[in-house]
Structure 1
Amino acid sequence: MRRRRSLTSRGAGALIAALGCMIAANVLGARILLYIGVLLAALTLFSLLAVRLPRRSGTVTRQISTDLLTVSETSRVTVRFTLRALRVPRGLWHDVLPDAVTGDSGGEYPPETGQLTYLITGVRRGVWPLGPLMLRTVDPFGLAQREQPFGDSRSVTVVPEVFALAPLAVRVGAAGGTAHTSSTRLGQGSDNLSPRGYIPGDSMRRIHWRATAHRGQLMVRQEEEESSPDAVVVLDRSSRHWDAPGVHADPAFEAAVSLCASSAIHLASEGYSVDVIDGAGTLLGALRGHEDDRDGLLVALAMVTPRGESRDLASLIGGTPPGPLVFITGRLDEEDAALLRPAGATAPMLFSTELLPGAAEASVPHGWTVVELGADIAEAWEDAVSARIGVGDVPR
């Protein structure tokens, strides 16, 4: 943040004029020029002291209308500024904004409404600081100025943009989003369950009579739960598939992150339990029908960058294959595509921001529906769904 000079352009000009008048007075012997020079110098000094000497302190609180700011979304920031000074000066204020958001965060002080408000629009993912609040005052002659920061900064989280996607047909998944793969093995007619010894407090309805008769002591049915996610979204952010992060955002990686968020939230809205992981197996989010799950995923995706290496997809998914599997990657060559196996997923969809020659042909035999991801995320998703189940089956 560049600090302003204490003298304005007018003040600097007055000081130079004062010095010129004093020199000219000595050269020309014109005493009136000396008086003018001293007057200009004294006026500049007085103006400088008038804006610098008064003691000021204040408190700043900010309130943002949305907890999470989505890329391209506009939010209102309300700033309450309490200034403690002998005299409330008139001046200009502005809140320091990061490059990740845009907005007109300045105005006249004191405001008519008693509080400062402005709008910001998200531009780039991440967690960024808002502030501090800067108050700029100028003396009545416009010769000197003072810009003073007040309060601390507050962070704003800019999350990826979420797009509305075309719905999946029920037959795309093993049973759509309504049949979960978690089950509890209980029942009177199941004899192949592993029994355990009776513990005081166990329900008598859970007694396994055949095992009790066989072992000569009370045995109860062991409650076994086997659970696996219905859908998996994988964001492959291994550094070899993406350009190195720079000062400016990579549009291809931003599209991949946005598709990751959009597809996960979309599948969750269709009734699937969704696990979102990266190519190394790190869990980025798990959507289980709670609103906090969605926010947690978006916050995690606000921070992701290309890094690390990826692991074999089959080892990431484990032994129980999901229904829909969404795999999102960057540059994909034929060699990597040939090794990429969907691990038994019912509906595997592969999105690549840059399909190199031969990559699509090497992926299709493994069961992938391959789509190149461009700027239009919703269109890429619809292309994948259409290719999987036929254009006529996509609900409009």
Structure 2
Amino acid sequence: MSAGGTGEPAADRGEAGGVRTALAGLTTRGRSFLAAGIAAAVCAYVLGQSDLLRVGLLLAVLPLLCAAVLYRTRYQVAGSRRLSPARVPAGSEARVHLRMDNVSRLPTGLLMLQDRVPYVLGPRPRFVLDRVEPGGSREVSYRVRSDLRGRYPLGPLQLRLSDPFGMCELTRSFSAHDTLTVVPRVHPLSPVRFSGEAKGYGDGRQRSLALAGEDDVIPRGYRHGDDLRRVHWRSTARYGELMVRREEQPRRSRCTVLLDTRGIAYEGAGPDSAFEWAVSGTASVLVHMLERGFSVRLLTDSGSSVPGEGSDGFAGSGPETADAAGLMMDTLAVIDHSDGTGLSRAYDVLRGGNEGLLVAFLGDLDEEQAAGVAKMRQRSGGAVAFVLDPGVWTREAADVPPAGDPYEERLRMLREAGWTVVGVPRGASPDELWRQADRERSGLAALGGEARGDTGMSGKAPR
């Protein structure tokens, strides 16, 4: 969270620049004095006025003397920068703390401290430090804010030295940089239950047999607190110590979140665009599922995922949950449109089928792409799709949708394939649509239960 640089002040670098560097630091006032002095000296020579020559020499020498003294000044200073926090949601503020330490035995003169920041984070901050005593320090801070996610470099930190007369200013930079990561907004989601997520920890715990039969169990040593009814007597007699069965193995729920990043699937740009809504919705679902203890995987239309992600994704409800969420947010912070035209690569990744929950955020779909998404339903235990129609996001609220809009036809295709489908209107709340998807899934489940003659919550027909 912190980084910085230490070094000497502006004037103790660039010796090769010499006089040229010093003269380049002359301010408008210094250049004016120099020009007036030269003009007065020329006029004094032409007119033979010795007094005017003295005045001209004084005017010309003063800025040159100030530049020479300032250039030869040696300050030993150390600078550092600290971000709080280093990862911030879009639209929120972060504070940058700057610290300047005078590690020399001499007090500094007038210093101007400024930091380089991208224009999207705000204006360039500047601070004037009047005098820093030997061994002393000064701390200043400023705020940055961005509505656009991304990774933004901060620095290098710059010092500007000035003489008391304002004739010359010299600027030098430290070498250290920091990076501010602006991640997508994460909206809290309601705790709902979708089909396909009952294979995990907590209320939805399900266990599976390790091996087929009683003789094939893999025993382990007895531990304090184990149920004595699980003692495997045959292994106990063989090893001479209490052994218990390990036939029940907990299996964690899995969730794959698919983000459609195709550039042709979205229209518009900016923080209120459809693509930014999809990225924010993806981040919200990822964090929500991690907090519920799921093994979560992020997948894009190009088949890529988060660097360091395992085959089953990142596991939640553990000490590494915060780190996993951070890695996913860092990936989403810089994700951009892809050049792809289809979703076949994502389908190939899902062909293995983990029988987990699949949540997809999709842009515009043609008939072929919709058919490919429909086949993904066969590779998951449950599937929920949030479909963003570019026409809805770019059309004015009062405009009437065109007749024969293919958008509704695509939604119908996905519903017939078993997807729980929710159309995303412009500016909708992710939590509201999340609950709407749960209501639609519950309604479909109820209709399916009536069609099968179900009478209870167990999902089994009476005999």
TM-score normalised by the shorter chain: which range applies?
Answer: 0.7 to 0.9
The equivalent residue for 2:117 is: 97
Provide the secondary structure at the position in 1 that maps to 2:138.
coil
Which 10-residue stretch deviates more, 36-45 or 304-313? Answer: 304-313
How far apart are the structure 2 equivalents of 1:339 and 1:107? Answer: 58
Match of 2:102 in 1: 83
Task: Write the distance in 2 (CA, Å) between the matches of 1:67 and 1:207.
Answer: 57
Aligned to 1:61: 80
Q: Does 1:106 align with 2:144?
A: no
Paired residues of 2:40 and 2:53 also in contact (CA < 8 A): yes
Q: Which residue of 2 aligns with 1:328?
A: 361
What amino acid does structure 1 have at the position aligned with 2:333?
A
Indicate which of 151, 169, 175 corresponds to 1:145: 169
Deviations 1:289-328 (A, max 9, x none): 22222222212222322336442437426324334x3212
Amino acid at match of 1:300: T
Is 1:231 equivalent to 2:267 in the alignment?
A: no
After superposition, the Cα gap between the structure-2 partners of 1:173 and 1:93, relative to the gap in structure 1 and judged at 3 Å, is: same
When residues 292 and 198 of structure 1 are mapped into structure 2, their CA distance, relative to the original with a 3 A threshold, is closer
User: 1:221 Cα shift?
Assistant: 7.7
Q: CA deviation at 1:349?
A: 2.0
Please say if residues 193 and 222 of structure 1, whose CA atoms lie closer than 8 Å, have aligned partners that are also in contact: no
State the secondary structure of the residue aligned to 1:21: helix
Contact 1:77–1:118 (CA<8 Å) still a contact in 2?
yes
- Check if 1:389 corresponds to 2:439: yes
Cα shift at 1:241: 3.6
1:354 aligns with 2:390: yes
Cα distance change, pair 76–232 in 1 and its aligned pair in 2 (3 A): same
1:148-186 CA-to-partner distances (Å, cap 9, x unmatched) read 223512223222221234x25436665598455763315
Separation in structure 1 between the aligned mates of residue 164 and residue 130 of structure 2, nearest angstrom: 16
Per the alignment, in what secondary structure is the counterpart of residue 254 of structure 1? helix
CA contact (8 A) 1:231 1:322 kept: yes
Aligned to 1:361, the other structure's residue is in SS state helix
User: What is the CA-CA distance between 1:22 and the residue it aligns to?
Assistant: 3.0
1:288 has 2:316 as partner: yes
Say whether 1:126 aligns with 2:168. Answer: no
1:162 matched to 2:186? The reply is yes
Structure 1 residues 297 and 43: CA distance shift in structure 2, 3 A: same
Q: Does 1:278 align with 2:278?
A: no
- Give ranges in structure 2 of 5+ residues lacking alignment: 1-20, 224-229, 236-243, 307-312, 393-404, 444-463
Say if 1:303 and 1:183 are closer, same or farther in 2 by CA, change over 3 A: farther
- Cα distance, 1:145 vs structure 2: 0.7
Paired-residue identity, %: 26
**1:363 to 1:339, Cα distance in 2 relative to 1, 3 A:** farther
More helix as a share of residues = 2
Cα distance in 2, alignment partners of residues 45 and 108 from structure 1: 24
1:201-255 CA-partner distances (Å, limit 9, x unpaired): 799945789xxxxxxxxxx98858685644321112245546899xx88944333
TM-score (norm 2): 0.67
Determine whether 1:297 maps to 2:328. Answer: yes
Moved more, 278-287 or 192-201: 192-201
State whether residues 128 and 157 of structure 1, in contact with CA within 8 Å, keep that contact through their aligned partners in structure 2: yes
Cα separation, 1, equivalents of 2:196 and 2:221: 41
For the aligned residue pairs, the C-alpha RMSD in angstroms reads: 4.1
Q: Which residue of 2 aligns with 1:337?
A: 370
1:358-391 Cα shifts (integer Å, max 9, x gaps): 13422333224132364x3x52552453265169
Contact 1:340 1:363 in 2 (8 A): no
Q: Tell me if the contact between 1:104 and 1:120 (Cα under 8 Å) persists in the aligned partners.
A: no
Distance 1:351 1:45, change over 3 A: same
The C-alpha deviation readout for 1:328-367, integer Å capped at 9, x for no partner, is 2344334322331233553412232625951342233322
Q: Read off the aligned partner of 2:410 and give its amino acid letter.
A: A
Corresponding residue for 2:353? 319
Uncovered stretches (5+) of structure 1, i.e. residues with no partner: 210-219
Tell me which amino acid in the other structure corresponds to 1:97.
V
1:258 is aligned to 2:280:
yes
Structure 2 counterpart SS, 1:14: helix
**Residue type at the aligned position of 1:37:** G
**TM value normalised by structure 1:** 0.76
AA of the residue aligned to 1:78: H
Alignment-derived partner of residue 70 in structure 2:
51
Residue pair 1:232, 1:275 contacting (<8 A) in 2 also: yes
Match of 1:215 in 2: none
